[in-house]
Amino acid sequence: MYPRIRSLREDADWNQTQVAKQIGMSQTGYSKYETGENDVPVGVLMKLAKLYNTSIDYLVGFTDNPKPYR
């Protein structure tokens, strides 16, 4: 899951500070999600899925299809 979150951020050409601001948290806290130091709470997964227009299943690795289910 953690490399996928980082990859989505890099593909969007954003830095950690930009993503953290968009989901309402500090860059330091967000960084710990990307490195796997902290588990990503469901609420944050929901925000990231919305930000990247993908599904939580994709973020956590249950599917390799990045398209949302809608």
H-assigned helices in the chain:
2-11, 16-23, 27-35, 42-52, 56-60
Domain 2-60 has CATH 1.10.150.120: no
Cβ-based neighbours of 60, under 8 Å, separated by 6 or more: 1, 45
- What are the domain boundaries of the chain? 2-60
pTM: 0.91
pLDDT tens for the chain, 70 residues: list them: 789 999 999 999 999 999 999 999 999 999 999 999 999 999 999 999 999 999 999 999 999 988 876 6
